[in-house]
Amino acid sequence: MEPERDWKRLGDAFAEARKAADLTQVEVAERLSVTRTPIQAIERGRQANGSAFTKVTATMRAYARLLGWTEDSPARILRGEEPEPASQPTAAPGSESGSDLPPAVDRELRSGKTLDHTVVHLGGEDDDTRIIVVLKGAEDISEEELDELWKKWSKTRRHIQAIPGESDTPQDS
């Protein structure tokens, strides 16, 4: 089979399922903490630079999970099969949320108020290595505390985004 045709079939399956879930590409990108560009590329079946994909990426697997498919569904579609619906996740020992994150990280992410985040991609199109930083604060943070925290975060975020790679978080005001 032609690889390009398989990738096109995968892209079409993603686009069709996204539309059936009443999601836009921007909404998918936000939920996956990426820009719209990789979502467009996946649905087009070609990388942003126009070349064919060479492997299923972590973003494709995350997109599959978002749509309610198993992580191996993209590979199944590439083989001409249908995506497999994911079963309900069961909680891992020590994790109330069913997350595969270490319990301490899972607990930190669930506590407090999420204020902002940034994602820095360290690899290229086929390399999904990335750093994800989530800014958390107390649920009852005051406006004054938030202003002070935001000043510190803005400076820190600029340093994080200066790490070689592609940042997926646009510079905010």
Q: Over the stretch 127-141, which tens digit does the pLDDT of each residue have?
A: 778 888 888 888 788
- Give the pLDDT of residue 104: 74
Residues 15 and 71 in one domain: yes
pLDDT at 115: 83
Mean pLDDT of all residues in 1-10:
71
Are 74 and 107 in the same domain? Answer: no
Q: Of 89, 86, 94, 3, which is closest to residue 51 (Cα–Cα)? A: 3
Instruction: Say if 18 falls within a structural domain.
Output: yes
pLDDT (average), residues 71-86:
91
Q: What are 172's two structure tokens?
A: 């905010």
Overall number of domains in the chain = 2
In a domain, 173, yes or no: no
Please write the tens of the pLDDT for every residue from 85-116.
887 444 444 444 556 777 777 777 777 788 88
Q: Which CATH number fits the domain that encloses residue 11?
A: 1.10.260.40
- The burial of 93, by beta-carbon neighbours within 10 Å (0-12 exposed, 13-18 middle, 19 or more buried), is given as exposed
Same domain? 68 vs 128 = no
Is residue 90, in this structure, part of any structural domain at all?
Answer: no
Q: Which domain holds residue 125?
A: 103-167
What count of other Cβ atoms lies within 10 Å of the Cβ of residue 121? Answer: 20
* 118: helix, strand or coil: strand
Q: Please identify, among 78, 95, 111, the residue that sits at the C-terminal boundary of a domain.
A: 78
The answer to whether residues 9 and 65 belong to one domain is yes
Q: How confident is the model at residue 170 (pLDDT cuts 50, 70, 90)?
A: very low
pLDDT digits (tens, 9 = 90+) for 17-56: 999 988 999 999 998 888 999 999 999 999 888 888 889 9
